Amino acid sequence: MKTIVEPKQMQDLARKWRSEKKTVGFVPTMGALHKGHLELVRASRKENDATVVSIYVNPLQFGPREDYQQYPRTLEADLELLEKEKVRALFAPTNREMYPAGFSSRVEVSGSLVQGLCAPYRPGHFNGVATVVVKLLGAVQPTRLYLGQKDAQQAAVLKQVVRDLDLDVEPVICPIVREHDGLAMSSRNKRLTLAGRKVAPVLYKALKVGKSIVDLGQADAEKVLGEIKNVMAEERSVKLQYLEAVDAGTLAPVKEIKPGTMIAVAAYLDNVRLIDNIVI
C-alpha cells in the first residue's frame, strides 16, 4: 500500500491508473477506522481494480464549539487495517497540503438538502464537507465514491454536488453497519463512557419501534415520532437534538410516512453527538 501525502503525487498515480484503464474506488474517511469503514473498502474492492482510502480530519466541517481537537486519531492502527484489506493507496494529506496559504475557495450547498436534520445545528458543516470532498476527488480522480448510509444527509449532499458540478464519479451508498446491539458504528463511539455505551443503542431501539408502528399501519408522522420520543425518554442521559421524518431523496419533511420515508435522529450522550436513521 502506498501512503501519499501530496495531492500532486496522488494525481500522478491516478493518471497512471487511468492510462492503464483501471477502475478506482475511493473511500473518504477521517480515520479512527471501524468495521463500517471496512465494509465500504470491501465494497470498493469488489467493484474496482484499485481502492484508495483517504484519512483527513477536515477542519472546515467542524464548528467552533465542536470536537475537532477531540476527534479520535488512530493513524497507526488505521494503517494496519488498510494493509490487511489490500488497499492500493492511502491518501493522508495534512492541513498544509489541503488548505495552503492563500486558499480562499468554497463549495456552497443550498436547498432542501441543507435546511433540516443536522444543518441548522451545524452551520457551514456541509459546505465544509462538500469543499473537502471536491478537493479529494480532484486528487484521487476515482471511478466510484463510496459513502455510508449512517451519514445520510452528507451522502445526499455529495450526490447533489456530483450532479450539479458534473463530476465524473459514481456515488455508491452502502448500508449502515451496526454493533451487535444495534448501535450504528461511528468513530465517535470510542469517546463514550462504559455507562454511555450501554445506553447508546436506545437510538436504534427507538427507531425500530417507530418502524414497527408504521408496519402496523400508522402513517401519521407526528404520532410515529411521538412514540419514538417516548422510547428515548426512558434514558434520561440521552439528550435529543432532533427527530425528523423526511423524504429519503430530497430530505424535505413529510407529514405522512410511506415507503421512501427516512426517520432520522441526533442526540448527545456523554457530550458525544450520535446520529442514526432508518428508511421505511
Where in the sequence numbering do the catalytic residues fall?
A: 37
> Under a CB-based contact definition with an 8 Å cutoff, are residues 239 and 269 in contact?
yes
Strand ranges across the sheet with 239-247 = 239-247, 261-269, 272-279
Residue 162 and residue 96: Cα distance in Å, rounded? 25
Containing 151, the helix (H) or strand (E) segment is none
Q: What's the DSSP call for residue 184?
A: B
SS3 of residue 173 by DSSP: strand
Q: What is the Cα–Cα distance from 53 to 142, expressed in whole angstroms?
A: 11
Instruction: Give the distance from CA 183 to its chain's centroid.
Output: 15
Report, in this order, helix, strand and coil percent for the chain, each rounded to 5: 40, 20, 35
The set of cell numbers assigned to 261 is: 420515508
d(CA 266, CA 274): 6
Three-state DSSP class for residue 134 = helix
List the strands of the sheet with 170-174, edge to edge: 2-4, 89-91, 50-55, 24-29, 144-148, 170-174
Alpha-carbon distance of 145 to 170, in angstroms, equals 6
131 three-state secondary structure: helix
